[in-house]
Amino acid sequence: MHINSSIKTGLLLFSFLASTLLTPAVCTAQRASNPDFPHYESSGYSDYPEVADPEYGTDESTNVYEYLDREGESGSEDSENYYEEPNYESAGTGEYDEAADVSEAAEPAPPPARQMLKPGDPIDIAEKTIRVGRIPYLSVKQLMAQAVPLLRNLQKRTGAKEVRLVSSGSYSDIISALARGKIDFAWVGPTAYLKHRDKENLMAVAKAKFGDETAYRGVFIAPAKGKVQGLEDLSGNIVGFVDPESASGYIYPNYLLKTLKIKLSKKTRVAFLKNHDNVLLAVLKGKIDAGACLEKTITAAKIKDLDKRIIVLAKTEEIPSDVIVCRQDCALNLREKFQEALTSIKPGELPGSPLTFLTATDDEFAPVEAVMRYLKLLP
């Protein structure tokens, strides 16, 4: 059949647009530092639909929120590009290297003595915009609903010009931004802190406390009627985690499998979904066969019949609470003022949150360090 040139041109243009706009993003493979597990990171993730908080709406929240792009520069986030459905199929195209799995680990050598940097010179805090980095472990709306009261409180207590929340896609990005001076403090899990502490010359400032709790747990979950009904069923299936440096969303669940001597076959596929809610969502949608996330994600979720739709396969041991860190050469008056502001917050002072803070010391993270040395995540 003969087709004239104008029709051919139109068909080619339509084909190009369709392939450009409709083809899902392909997930890129990423190898994390731990060689004992397959590491494949999806290109994006989705969030639950939410209703904006009437007191801390989108417009006001974004005034104290920044997003770090992949180069570590602050910018405004395009949520349509960043919050998307993970491509679970391409997230699991790799194979698990069973030969690299080491169930028994040698007794770790004692850590070398730390050399501390000299604190920085005093600054004029009244003219300072303090930037605090944190990964979006929840959706941005949920995160900002929690963060805005805290940021306002810290601004008043420190007397700073402004206190802003800066976010990015991974713990590594946040730590990198801190190391390069793009942000002043970082709110991270204890495993992320310990992994980068010596290389980036970091120090603990404070630790989070939620009510009476100074620790939390990770959990393995699966669909109630799925093919994974126990940890021994994980092998050969698709397993979702949060981030390679997430304590409750990867490292402690991995440690649990090692201590129970549960090995995963080379056919096991892994997707990193970047926040805890997304792991739960992926399990509910049947996108993954099982997942590991923060226990509180399950207990605090307002999802109808959740207890009938999923099962908890196992819980990790307790993990010390998240820690606020800074560089050792942070201006001394800034570090002390920020620490004082955090630890002065009283129970019930932040609307709708039991959050307070305690002074943190490295001795408290010794059990975490032992876990990470067992998994060969520390030298």
pLDDT at 34 (0 to 100): 39
pLDDT of res. 174: 94
Residue 98 maps to a domain: no
- Contact 35/99 with Cβ under 8 angstroms? no
Give yes or no for residue 62 having a pLDDT over 50: no
d(CA 153, CA 130): 13
Which range marks the domain in which residue 177 is found?
Answer: 125-208+321-374
Assess if residue 120 is contained within a domain.
Answer: no
d(CA 55, CA 143): 14
Is residue 356, in this structure, part of any structural domain at all? Answer: yes
Question: Position 101: which residue type?
Answer: D
Mean pLDDT of 213-234: 96
Minimum mean pLDDT among 72-81, 99-108, 163-172: which range?
72-81
Query: What CATH number is attached to the domain comprising 360?
Result: 3.40.190.10
Mind listing the pLDDT tens digit for each residue in 290-339?
999 999 999 989 899 999 999 999 999 999 999 999 999 999 999 999 99
Which pLDDT score, from 0 to 100, does residue 316 have?
Answer: 98
Residue 379 lies in a domain: no
Question: Does residue 372 contact residue 378 with C-beta atoms inside 8 Å?
Answer: yes
Find out whether 166 and 68 touch, Cβ atoms under 8 Å.
yes
Give yes or no for residue 259 having a pLDDT over 90: yes
Distance of CA 318 to the CA centre of its chain: 18
Tell me whether residue 52 is in a domain.
Answer: no
Alpha-carbon span 130 to 334, nearest angstrom: 9
Classify strands 238-241 and 290-294 as parallel, antiparallel or unpaired: parallel
Confidence bin at 48 (pLDDT 50/70/90): very low
Domain count, the chain: 1
Query: Residue 368 falls within a domain, yes or no?
Result: yes
Map tokens 């770790």 to a residue. 108
**Distance in angstroms (rounded) separating the CA atoms of residues 175 and 193:** 8
Query: Does 260 fall in a domain?
Result: no
CB 77 within 8 A of CB 67: yes
What is the residue-averaged pLDDT of the chain? 78
Distance from C-alpha of 25 to C-alpha of 86, rounded to nearest angstrom: 9
Locate 325 and state its tokens: 């860190």
Is 115 inside a domain boundary?
no
Provide mean pLDDT across the span 210-218: 93
- What is the CB neighbour count within 10 angstroms for residue 2? 4
Burial of 310 from C-beta contacts in 10 A (0-12 / 13-18 / 19+): buried
Specify burial of residue 164 (Cβ count, 10 A radius: 0-12, 13-18, 19+).
Answer: buried
CA proximity to 228, closest of 259, 273, 261, 269: 269
Query: What tens digit of pLDDT does each residue of 101-160 get?
Result: 444 444 555 555 567 789 999 999 999 999 999 987 766 777 788 889 999 999 999 999
Instruction: Note if the pTM is more than 0.75.
Output: no
Angle at 288 between CA 287 and CA 290, to 5 degrees: 145
In the predicted structure, residue 15 carries a pLDDT above the cut 50: no
CA-to-CA dists, residue 30 to 125, 169, 238, angstroms: 40, 14, 16
